[in-house]
Structure formats: C-alpha cells, structure tokens
Amino acid sequence: MSIVVQNIERVDLGLIDALAQSGVATAHEAQRRTGLMAPYMRPIYSGARIAGNAVTVSLPPADNWMIHVAVEQCREGDILVVAPTSASDTGYLGDLLACSLAARGVRGLIIDGGVRDVRELTTMQFPVWSRAIYAQGTVKETLGSVNVPVVCAGALVRPGDAIIADDDGVCVVPRESAAEVVRQSQAREQKEAAVRARLKAGELGLDIYGMREKLAAKGLKYQ
Amino acid sequence: MSIVVQNIERVDLGLIDALAQSGVATAHEAQRRTGLMAPYMRPIYSGARIAGNAVTVSLPPADNWMIHVAVEQCREGDILVVAPTSASDTGYLGDLLACSLAARGVRGLIIDGGVRDVRELTTMQFPVWSRAIYAQGTVKETLGSVNVPVVCAGALVRPGDAIIADDDGVCVVPRESAAEVVRQSQAREQKEAAVRARLKAGELGLDIYGMREKLAAKGLKYQ
Amino acid sequence: MSIVVQNIERVDLGLIDALAQSGVATAHEAQRRTGLMAPYMRPIYSGARIAGNAVTVSLPPADNWMIHVAVEQCREGDILVVAPTSASDTGYLGDLLACSLAARGVRGLIIDGGVRDVRELTTMQFPVWSRAIYAQGTVKETLGSVNVPVVCAGALVRPGDAIIADDDGVCVVPRESAAEVVRQSQAREQKEAAVRARLKAGELGLDIYGMREKLAAKGLKYQ
Amino acid sequence: MSIVVQNIERVDLGLIDALAQSGVATAHEAQRRTGLMAPYMRPIYSGARIAGNAVTVSLPPADNWMIHVAVEQCREGDILVVAPTSASDTGYLGDLLACSLAARGVRGLIIDGGVRDVRELTTMQFPVWSRAIYAQGTVKETLGSVNVPVVCAGALVRPGDAIIADDDGVCVVPRESAAEVVRQSQAREQKEAAVRARLKAGELGLDIYGMREKLAAKGLKYQ
Amino acid sequence: MSIVVQNIERVDLGLIDALAQSGVATAHEAQRRTGLMAPYMRPIYSGARIAGNAVTVSLPPADNWMIHVAVEQCREGDILVVAPTSASDTGYLGDLLACSLAARGVRGLIIDGGVRDVRELTTMQFPVWSRAIYAQGTVKETLGSVNVPVVCAGALVRPGDAIIADDDGVCVVPRESAAEVVRQSQAREQKEAAVRARLKAGELGLDIYGMREKLAAKGLKYQ
Amino acid sequence: MSIVVQNIERVDLGLIDALAQSGVATAHEAQRRTGLMAPYMRPIYSGARIAGNAVTVSLPPADNWMIHVAVEQCREGDILVVAPTSASDTGYLGDLLACSLAARGVRGLIIDGGVRDVRELTTMQFPVWSRAIYAQGTVKETLGSVNVPVVCAGALVRPGDAIIADDDGVCVVPRESAAEVVRQSQAREQKEAAVRARLKAGELGLDIYGMREKLAAKGLKYQ
C-alpha cells in the first residue's frame, strides 16, 4: 500500500529559523537529549547549518522513484528526509534532483543512503547529510510512500517534524514541541554565554558548577 | 612469479581528458552502471577531478617495494592503481614517492590501502583516493607485479584501462570502450542540460519524464 | 580507586615544538615505527599540526565528569588525551570545555570517543582528533582517573609523554626518548630533502636507493 | 522525565505462538516487508525461534539500572527490548538478570547493545539478540523509561507490540495488526509448501511463476 | 545489455572433488596466494567444505530476479556465485530457491549480499557463504546477467572457474589451472603431514625450517 | 631493535586455573572493570574457557616469522598473545603452528589479526580468539620482538601477565594482582550464587539490592 499524504501540518518558519540559529547540539540538549540520528550521518561539505520541515520518503533500497514523487509535495522551508527500507549506499540523488528541490525552496536533504554529484551540490550550496557518497545509480521500478512516519538513521521522523542539521549531525524536533524547544534552547544559550565568559577568563568548571564537594564525596583522591 | 609488463597499450590522452570532463557519475551511467570502486575509496582532499591511464600494481600487504618499481613504468597522463593482495591500512605512499610520480606526469594515485603525508600531498595538489590515511610505514621485502590485471576496491582494472576519479569516487573505463563512453557521456550531458534548465524553472520530473501514469498503474494513491 | 596525579614530569617545550615541526609520519619513523594511534582517529578540520605534553584521562563511557577535573591539571603546552574504558561515540566535549582548555594553554584534544560543537571548535581553531563527531550529551555521575597510563586508540600513553597530531593521525613519543626522536627526525628530514630534490629532477628511487640488483636477485622479471 | 508505564496492552499469547511458528522472514513478508531490525542484531546461539510481547526500555549508554526496573513490569510471554539512547557495546545484562527475567516467564532479550555471560545464557537456553558480546560492566546512576516507544536497531517498537526473533534476525509486528499478520503468514506458508514440493521435484521457478515472457519483454537474451 | 550464457566450460568433477579435499587454505597457497574472497564472507553454519563449478550471476542491488534465471543454467556439481552491482545486505535467497538449487545438484551458494531462512538452510544442509544474514526481501524488476565474469567480495570469478569454500572462507581457482592446483595442493599436504608429525613430537619450526641463522643475520637478539 | 626476552616471570598455575574457573566477566569485575580487549575479539568456536601466562609477540603486519621464534619461549600453561604493529586480517597461524604450540603445552592463541585452518583447530580443540578468520598467507621477512609489552586489541599485555578468555572475550590480569583477583572473584561468585537463588525464586533485584528508594529520589515516576 503505497501512499502520498499531501497536506501535512508544518512548523511555522519563524520557529524553524530559530531552531537553525541554535544548532543541533543545543536543541538536542534542550529536548532532553532525544532525537539525534546516528553519527554516521555526515555532511557532504562543512559549515552548513539548516532547519526545515520534514517531508518524508520511505522507499525500497537502490530505487529513487519516490524522490521524484516527493518533490511535488515540497515547499519553501522543507527538508527532504529519505529512509530506504534496507540500507544501501547507492547514490539516490544527484544534481538534477537537487536543482528541482532547490527550485521549490527545499533547504537540504537527509538520506540514510548514498548521494552523488557532490562537487556540483557543493558548488550550488545544496547541503546533504548522508551515510555515503557513491556514484552508483538507482532504478525506478518499485513504489514507496511519501509523508508517512519513517525511521531514518535510528531516529523516528514524522512528516512535518522539524529537522536541524549542521556539522554535528542531524536532530529531529517533534512538531508539537518546536516552540518549547526554541524557548529552552535560547535560555540555554544565554546561560552558556555567561559561563563561556568566565571560562575564557580562566575560572574552572569545577568551581563554576560547584563540583568539588560531590567529587570528594564519591571518593576522588588527589596525589 | 613476479613480473613487470613494460609496454602496455593506453587510451589516447584526448579521450582521457574528455572523460575527466564528464566525471565519475556520468561516465558510470554512460557505460551501463559498471566499473565503480567501493564507496570507502575517498579523496584526501575535495575538488579534484582527474582521468588517466592505469598503471597497475599488485603487492603484498604493508610492503611498498613494487611502487618504486612501478614509477619507472609511468608516463604523462597515467594514474597509479595499487591493490594489496590483502587489505591493510598501512601508509604505502608519502610525499617522496608522490614527488617522483608527479615528476613523471602521473595525475594521481588510487590505492586500496593507506596513504600518509597528506598535508604535503594536498599542498602539492597530488590527488589520492584511498581506503585510509595512516602514517604507519611499510617494509620493502617481498615482490609483486606491475601492469597485471588487479581487483582494486571491488573493481577489475587492467593495465591501460582509463580511470576517472572525483569527489564521487573512482570509476574504471575499459580501454577498448573509452571512445564510446566519451560519446555516450557527452550525449547524456547535453540531455541533462536541457532537463536541468526545465527543473530550475520549476517543472517537475514527474511531468518531464512522464511518470504519472506509470505510478498510477503501479497503484500509487494520493491522500 | 579514582585518583588525580597532580605533579607529572613533562617534556621541555623546546623539544615539543621541534616534534610539531617534524610531524607524525617522520617522528613515527624516527622512533622505529612505534606509537601510532589507530587510523580511525581523524581531525575535525584539516591542516592543524600540533605537539604537546599528555595529560591523560581514563573515564567511563558516556560520562565526561573527569574532563572537568582534568582541566585543572593542564598548563601551557599540554594536550588532553581522553580514553573511555569502553568505546562510545557520545560527544564528551563541546565548545565550553574547549574554551576552558584553551584558556589554560592546552593545544588540542585527542579522544577515543565523540566530540560536538565542531563548527565552533573550528572557528576558534581548537583542534581535536576523535573517533566520531556526535552531538549526544554525557552524564556526570561516575569517577575515573587523571594522569594514569591509558591505552587510547590502541596506543599506550603515560602522563607527560609527548603527543604529535596532524592530518596523518596521532603519534605518542615516550617522554624519555623525546630528545632522541627529535634528533632522528631532523636527520631524517635532511636526508629526505636531498632525495626529494633528486626525485623532482626525474631520478628514480630504483637508482637512488640502489634497488635494481636486489629486485633481480629476488627474481623480478621484466617483459 | 523518566517514567514507567505499568499497564500496557499485549497481544494474545495464542497469536504470539502462531507468530513464533511462522518466523521472522515469513512474518516480515506478510506485513509488506516492514518491521525488521538491522542485520547487525545477531543471536548469541543459533536455533532459537521465539515470539513475545515487547516490554521496552530506553536507557542511557553503559547504564543498566532501568533493566532492573523493567523486570518487575514483565510477565509470562514477554520479550524485553532494550534501546540505549546512544550506541554502546557495553554488556548490559548477564546471567543474574537473565535468571530474574526467566523466573518471570520472559522469553528472551533484544538489545541494541552488548551482553555477557553468554556461556551461562546458552546453558540455561535464554536467547538474546544483540549488537555485541562484551564483558564490560555498566553503572547504575541515571534514569531512563520503561514501556515508552523506542527505536531499537532501526525499528520502531511500542510497548505491547509483538516481537519475533530467530536466526534470520528480529521483526516487530504492531500489536493491532498481529492477527492479520498471522493470517497472512499462514496463507503464505501454505502457498510456499505447494511451491516447495514442485521445486524439489525439479520444476523451475521460471515456469512456476511464469517469468519467461516478462524477462523476454525486458530484453533478456540467451547465448 | 543483459545476457545469459548457456554453455560454459566446467572443471572435471574429479578435480573439483580433489579441490574440496584440500580446502581453501591449502589451495590458496598452492596457487601462489591468489583468489581469496574478502574475510567478511562467512558460512551460515560451520563444518561445511565444498567445491564446485561457478555459475555466476551479476544482478542489481536488492533484486533477485536473475537468481531464478540462473537456476536453469545449473547442473550437478555447480556452485552459484552471486555479485550485486552494489553492496546490499538484503536477503536475496531463502529456502525455496535453495530447494530448487539443491534439486539440480548445486552444492552451495556464494553471495556478496544477504541470505535468509538460515535455520531451514542449515536443516537441509545447503551451505551458504555470505556477507550478511538478513530477512529483508528483494524485488524482481530489473535484469542482470548470468555466466559473465564478476567481481565477488574482491575476487574475480569467471563462469566455470572452480570455487572452494570452507570455514576459512572462499577461494577461486581459475578453470585452466585447476589440475595444476590439485597437484600442488596434494604435494603440499604430503610435505605438511611430515612436518606435522615432527612438530607434534616436539621439534621446533626454527630447526625444521632452518631459520636460526637467517634470524641472527637479520639482527635478532636473545636476552 | 628486535629482541627475544627469554626468562619471564609467570603466574603460578594454581592461580591460573582458578582464574579460568571464574571466567572473563567475573575477573574483569573483580579487578575494577579493567583489562578487557575490544569486543571484536571473538573465539573461533564457542564453549572454550581458558587461562594462561602471556607470551607476547610484536610483529609486522602480514608477517608471522616471529611466531616461530616465540614457540620456543612457550611452556606448559602459556597463552600466546600476538599483536601486529598495524592491523591486518591476514591468517598468521594455521594448524601446523597450532600443533607445535599444543606440543609445548600452550593453551590457546589471542591474536589481533587473522587465523586459518579453523576446522582443523576446532577438531584438535586448540582455542583461538582473533579479529578475523582468513586464509591469506603471510611472509617471513621482517623481525619483531618476543616478550615485550604489547597493546593487543586495545589492552596492554606485559609478558607473564595472566590471560583469561571465554565466550565473553579476553581479559588481561596483571601478574602481580593475580592472587588478589582470584580472591575477589571467588568472593564475588559466592555472593552471586546467593542472589541467583533468590532471583530464581522470583524475588526482584529492585528489592534485593534496595533500589526503590534511590530510584524515587532520582525522580522515577510510575503511571
């Protein structure tokens, strides 16, 4: 049963942009250390930091037909999240599909598989996080689904969830908690800015966080 | 029985340069999706795109003696392809051997093993695709062969075959089909240029490639 | 029994700087091919080449409490070497701890685990060699030890040993042999400079190193 | 926010036993090729084939405290499914916890982490599917949750879903579709029994499935 | 261009049986340490030792249609060698296809991919060497070729080459050298039988092989 | 500088046998969770549980010459521990060397590399823990050392340290603490026997270990 769900709820783009501002590590902490994809998901070039609304694709290994179907469901501010039903390093997307996605305002691709034409993707600054870079082509023979819940690189992604991706990896923020995660992230950043200044001035975390007593109680000995 | 085959047939450098122009993904498609090395073969720096005639080396693990022998067999426009008889991450080549290869006009190294001095190799812009970066040195004790057929990172390479390498990986083009692959690649690029323009203008692959009917026939449902 | 050893002997910073000058591959050769960490230890950005005195940390997987303890033991010219008692990709260190280490003159981090905030670490040019990049946070619950001998990525590191790290990986130089390794490295570099000039001029290693006779004796045949 | 959900709905044990009868490959096909965990999940000994109701545990890496909490929530016919929040090969469970689980009628353990005492587990025939076998011990310091939805080895598992595990791996059957999957599996087995008999008698799949015409239409040539 | 080559030359079954007698390690040594597949190729159960004539299959990742085509090309004493054009752990073959192969006298399967129904395959004693065990099903949509040269797990296999497989892995013996390899293997076994008797009696390899002088000449020191 | 240290101190065989009795998991706990080799070290057959005195070998990758040298240094109750200076899956040892080791009373082999003839080794019940099984042969060209400290699979092993190996992996017990580890292990076993009986009778670890209060204090909620 292959379906395309057309009208999904999305996170407001103002919140999305605030999530991009915070980045993966902060948002992940702000939502109690949940939502990270596996560390094998790496960016094809460094320095990009994006957030967007997930349009999800579940497709068979080594078959990229459903990505063509998914493009039509994308709009400004989306991120395409592609999860093959079994792992394959095959290159599911190249510069042509990236052009098509960029033309619709898609901000990047998250794929638990391979990608190709990375030189061209880098030139056009279309960021991709993938498990592999591989030129191997796919077929277009078997259906999958668009905008159904998927598990991508170990994380559950539902259509319309917020995705954040940067050099630290990829994090999923459930749609309904996006506003709260933005609030927590910003609070966290403010607190960290104060600590950062003290650390740069030479103060120790041992003192700032008041750890010495607890360490001694656990039995730490100095020689 | 260790041998060095001295006079191998090569692909004309005009064709070689045309293959470099097309790149790995296009040439791989143009020869019916054959010839790719495994995706663990990664460039030591990004952005290089080369093609050349393969001078092949079969050598024992962790022994680089035969690379010294192979240098003498190289000429302008060659690429050295090194395949240990069993996998080892040892650093078979550093900046000295690279200087020697560059002095003979060799365009790069493909090695199913390790490489070292990558900072120096990057500075001198000598591109390498390898399975590892590792400073561990080799011995020079045991013979191998030069210019015999080898399997390198899962691909069969015969001496004088054309090699293309870029950020997408490494592809082998059999010597006798190089001209045909160039023709097919260029035809493919022209076709893609037209499609790319339409995709950038917002047309969908679903319409350009006429996929909607076939998708419906397979049973795809929209909700 | 968790301990912090406070007064360790270190290598003189003059020798340390000479080791940084030589780099990993040369120093590794100069000490008879010993001391390399495993090739999965990769820098978070390329181009850095550092040396320093090891302050070692042994800690439980996914718990970074002892890094806070270790910061206080660091001084100008140190490198922090962190070895979890079992492998975990968790991100043990981010930009706050890096600020604190940098404020004490620490030159970089070697960790057989994960690291996060790599965009910020790159901006502040605090180099890290790690087995993973991962935003996953740690707990602060269980003690470990500082400045005890550890095995990190397959190499034995004792507190106060010299560490060299660059794009080729990470090498440990035992404290007591640092002076000798500097001497051997510099001798090696001088010899290599002469060979490099001859190779660039087109001479062959086969002739420079006098290999032809030995190859023939082993039975190498030319066709 | 760490919680223990105490009253979960389960699949009827009659259906569970029917699923065990069918095995992983058949049930996976019967539910349209969904629900498989990653292939790195391997049994500690071969030959076991079990099914049960999932009691799920989400816990921090290298900390097995929540398994002790989960035992109390288990009953006859359950399977414990343990998903650390980041990967660790640490040995989360040994023969003592296995004795405790067996005493409550638990049929086996699925863990995206390590296990130890495998000789004793084999002797007592308590089957485990895990990503590693490793003697490294855990701490008991940090909370997690019991009977919340988890992603385990790439598959979404909700408390009370049915789990099937055998030498082919591990498959999750959503609680609400268990009855339908049993029906489909049994239908599939009957059909396969008939085909198996014909194949053993020497008939070809090409003929039984009527593939020859379609192959010719696709362009297959015989030489 | 998908083809099925129907009439291939095979190695005489008398030689094949002699190769099975020798096993992988001996035959590999007897043909100068060539022909081994990668060490990730493991048997689904231990103790099997087979040899046979290769019927080769090149097929797309996650598509097993061509295995059905290949069955018809098999005869008594063959081994099926399956090489996907890019790596996939998908389960290409289960007990139905194994029944069909066994009915034609096929001795086993070598597949650079996944296999399923391993409990049933073990019961019927149909041996398989594979890179993975995985229940994930395949499609039947895209053509490949039968009896063309393939690279399988890093080794070149031409149709009709001899394959040997046992607990040590898989070795390819080129058809034209099978007789010579049998001769060399048997000579090697006789020599080893004599050495084995002396070693069991307590003599040292150092003395039997006369290594002491060469070791001393290389500089080995005893303390 | 290649050396063979001939007279090493060993652990008394009575203690060694007591360590074998306890097994890896228990001894590892008894010495405060230290000394484990990496989990990729797996036995070639299951069920073996041995302990012995380490005779260590440091050798170049893919060269087994020093194993022949090491055999002479072995005596009743030893275990050979082999650590290549860089990783290689090559098969360093087969049944001939195993016969020689067994003839001297060696109880097994621990090798951070490959092994071959595993069917024969299984038949003669000579246990091996290795990172790979691979038929690929080695050369005998380059020296290494016997009975020097080595890092094997991430663990420091000094000659004469006690080694324990079973289905859970491999653990190193420093020579000077062997007696204490035996004492602690036996105490631990007695305590565990009592707990095991209570768990089998249906008591919960939550109650036996008194965890409920601490869990509540940390904030665990039941729904």
Chain F residues in contact with B60 by the CB 8 A cut-off are: 62, 139
CB contact under 8 A, C2 and A205: no
pLDDT tens profile D134-162:
999 999 999 999 999 999 999 999 999 99
Q: Are strands B109-115 and B78-84 parallel, antiparallel or unpaired?
A: parallel
pLDDT category of residue D2 using cuts at 50, 70 and 90 = very high
pLDDT at residue A87 greater than cutoff 90: no
- Strand runs labelled E in chain A: 3-4, 42-43, 50-59, 78-84, 109-115, 128-133, 145-146, 150-152, 155-157, 162-166, 169-173, 221-222
CB contact under 8 A, F139 and B141: yes
What would the mean pLDDT of D172-181 be, rounded to a whole number?
98
- CA atoms of B140 and B66, how far apart (whole Å): 8
What lies within 8 Å, CB to CB, of E74 at 6+ separation is E55, E80, E101, E104, E105, E106
User: By the CB < 8 Å criterion, does B139 face chain F?
Assistant: yes
Check if the beta carbon of residue D72 is closer than 8 Å to that of residue D99: no
Nearest to E45 by CA among F73, F14, D46: D46
Nearest to A90 by CA among A148, A146, A42, A130: A130
Give residue A75's pLDDT.
Answer: 98
Chain A residues in contact with C104 by the CB 8 A cut-off are: 202
CB contact under 8 A, B134 and F88: no
- Residue A127: phi, psi to the nearest 5? -80, 145
CB contact under 8 A, A47 and C119: yes
What would the mean pLDDT of E106-119 be, rounded to a whole number?
98
CB atoms within 10 A of CB A167: 26
Q: What is the CA radius of gyration of chain B?
A: 20
Give residue E88's pLDDT.
Answer: 87
Among C103, C118, C143, the residue with its CB nearest the CB of A220 is C143
Residue showing tokens 């007695």:
F190
CB contact under 8 A, B86 and F139: no
HEC secondary structure over A141-190? CCCCEECCCEEECCEEECCCCEEEEECCEEEEECHHHHHHHHHHHHHHHH
Residue B12, SS3?
coil
pLDDT at residue E87 greater than cutoff 90: no
Give residue E121's pLDDT.
Answer: 98
pLDDT at residue B17 greater than cutoff 90: yes
pLDDT at residue D79 greater than cutoff 90: yes
CA distance C142 to chain D (A): 8
- CA atoms of D106 and D123, how far apart (whole Å): 16
- Residue C135: phi, psi to the nearest 5? -80, -10
Give residue C111's pLDDT.
Answer: 98
- CA atoms of C47 and C166, how far apart (whole Å): 7
Check if the beta carbon of residue D136 is closer than 8 Å to that of residue D115: no
Chains that touch A (3 or more CB pairs under 8 A): B, C, D, E
Task: Read off the amino acid at residue F195.
Answer: V
CB contact under 8 A, A133 and B39: yes
Q: Do chains B and D touch (3 or more CB pairs under 8 A)?
A: no
Whole-number Cα distances in Å, F209 to D68, F187, F199, F212? 10, 17, 11, 9
pLDDT at residue A1 greater than cutoff 90: no
Give residue A19's pLDDT.
Answer: 98
Check if the beta carbon of residue A32 is closer than 8 Å to that of residue A156: no
Residue showing tokens 């043990």:
C92
CB contact under 8 A, A60 and E61: no
CA distance B92 to chain C (A): 12
Q: What sign does the CA torsion over F171, F174, F175, F179 have?
A: negative
Continuous segment of H or E residues that includes residue A213: helix A212-218
- CA atoms of E97 and E102, how far apart (whole Å): 9
Torsion angle of C-alpha atoms F25, F29, F33, F38, degrees rounded to 10: 0
pLDDT at residue E182 greater than cutoff 90: yes
For chain A, what's the residue count? 223
pLDDT tens profile A90-127:
999 999 999 999 999 999 999 999 999 999 999 999 99
User: By the CB < 8 Å criterion, does E195 face chain F?
Assistant: yes
Average model confidence (pLDDT) across chain D: 97
Taking the CA of residue A14 as centre, how many other CA atoms within 13 Å lie in the half-sphere pointing to its CB? 2
What would the mean pLDDT of D3-13 be, rounded to a whole number?
97
pLDDT category of residue A10 using cuts at 50, 70 and 90 = very high
CA distance D167 to chain C (A): 27
- Strand runs labelled E in E105-194: 108-115, 128-133, 145-146, 150-152, 155-157, 162-166, 169-173
Nearest to A37 by CA among A166, A148, A212: A166
pLDDT at residue A88 greater than cutoff 90: no
Among F33, F36, F154, the residue with its CB nearest the CB of C154 is F154
Give residue E1's pLDDT.
Answer: 78
CA distance C139 to chain F (A): 14
Q: What is the pTM of this model?
A: 0.97
Chain A residues in contact with B36 by the CB 8 A cut-off are: 134-136
pLDDT category of residue C204 using cuts at 50, 70 and 90 = very high
Nearest to E152 by CA among E58, E11, E219, E74: E58
Whole-number Cα distances in Å, F169 to B217, D120, F54, F163, F179? 55, 14, 16, 11, 21
Check if the beta carbon of residue B164 is closer than 8 Å to that of residue B170: yes
CA distance E127 to chain A (A): 24
Q: What sign does the CA torsion over B59, B64, B65, B68 have?
A: positive
pLDDT at residue C135 greater than cutoff 90: yes
Task: Flag residues of chain F having pLDDT under 50.
Answer: none
CB contact under 8 A, D46 and E119: yes
pLDDT category of residue C190 using cuts at 50, 70 and 90 = very high
- CA atoms of B120 and B122, how far apart (whole Å): 5
Whole-number Cα distances in Å, F196 to C60, D97, D102, F27? 27, 9, 12, 18
pLDDT tens profile C83-128:
999 888 999 999 999 999 999 999 999 999 999 999 999 999 999 9
Give residue E37's pLDDT.
Answer: 97
User: By the CB < 8 Å criterion, does C137 face chain A?
Assistant: yes
CB contact under 8 A, F33 and C85: yes
Q: Which residue of F has its CA nearest to C34?
A: F85
What would the mean pLDDT of B159-165 be, rounded to a whole number?
98
Q: What is the ipTM of this complex?
A: 0.95
- Residue E93: phi, psi to the nearest 5? -145, 140
Q: Do chains F and A touch (3 or more CB pairs under 8 A)?
A: no
Give residue F1's pLDDT.
Answer: 79
pLDDT at residue E174 greater than cutoff 90: yes
pLDDT at residue B51 greater than cutoff 90: yes
Give residue F87's pLDDT.
Answer: 84
pLDDT at residue A18 greater than cutoff 90: yes
Chain A residues in contact with B31 by the CB 8 A cut-off are: none
What stretches of B23-108 show up as alpha helix (H) in DSSP?
24-30, 65-71, 95-103
Check if the beta carbon of residue A80 is closer than 8 Å to that of residue A130: no
Q: Which residue of C has its CA nearest to B132?
A: C39
Among A46, A199, A220, the residue with its CB nearest the CB of C103 is A199
Angle CA B83–B89–B92, to nearest 5 = 60
Nearest to F115 by CA among F151, F88, F76, F85: F88
Nearest to B106 by CA among B37, B53, B69, B152: B53
pLDDT at residue A193 greater than cutoff 90: yes
DSSP class of residue E86 equals: S
User: By the CB < 8 Å criterion, does C94 face chain A?
Assistant: yes
In DSSP notation, F177-217 reads: GHHHHHHHHHHHHHHHHHHHHHHHTT--HHHHTT-HHHHHH
- Residue E151: phi, psi to the nearest 5? -105, 115
In DSSP notation, F115-171 reads: E--HHHHHHTT--EEEEEE-----B-----EESS-EEETTEEE-TT-EEEEETTEEE
What lies within 8 Å, CB to CB, of A99 at 6+ separation is A124, B196, B199, B200
Chains that touch E (3 or more CB pairs under 8 A): A, B, D, F
Average model confidence (pLDDT) across chain C: 97
Taking the CA of residue C221 as centre, how many other CA atoms within 13 Å lie in the half-sphere pointing to its CB? 5
pLDDT at residue E5 greater than cutoff 90: yes
Tell which wins on pLDDT, E197 or A88.
E197
Residue showing tokens 């559950």:
A156
- CA atoms of D65 and F210, how far apart (whole Å): 12
Give residue B86's pLDDT.
Answer: 87
Check if the beta carbon of residue E52 is closer than 8 Å to that of residue E14: no
Give residue D199's pLDDT.
Answer: 97
Q: Are strands C155-157 and C150-152 parallel, antiparallel or unpaired?
A: antiparallel
Q: How far apart are the first and last CA of chain F?
A: 67
pLDDT at residue B82 greater than cutoff 90: yes
- CA atoms of E60 and E84, how far apart (whole Å): 5
What would the mean pLDDT of A15-32 be, rounded to a whole number?
97
pLDDT at residue C1 greater than cutoff 90: no
Among C4, C100, C135, the residue with its CB nearest the CB of A36 is C135
